[in-house]
Amino acid sequence: MIEKIMSAKDKEILKTGEVESIDFKPRKGSFYWEKCEGCDEVVFLYGLKVINGKHYCISSSALKN
């Protein structure tokens, strides 16, 4: 399931070419998620922390503070 979501997202990035402009609006019919910069885990919206424009899971964001 994760793999499916990832390839869909890759396509979207290729299409827009603007990785940095992703906002926090959940897309219809899919969960919003980002990859954690700290541990490379997939982090869903409810656990997502943004530090200096980078995405972290809760435990990695705690290490950053």
Interacting residue ranges for Zn ion, rule: CB under 5 A: 36, 38-39, 57, 60
Shortest spacing between CB 18 and Zn ion, in angstroms: 24
Question: Between 9 and 61, whose beta carbon lies closer to Zn ion?
Answer: 61
Question: Between 11 and 58, whose beta carbon lies closer to Zn ion?
Answer: 58
Shortest spacing between CB 36 and Zn ion, in angstroms: 3
How many CB atoms neighbour CB 36 within 10 A?
A: 21
- SS3 readout for 10-57: HHHHHHHCCHHHCCCCCCCCCCCEEECCCCCCEEEHHHCEEECCEEEC
Question: Between 16 and 45, whose beta carbon lies closer to Zn ion?
Answer: 45
Length, in residues, of the chain: 65
By beta-carbon distance, which residue lies closest to Zn ion? 60
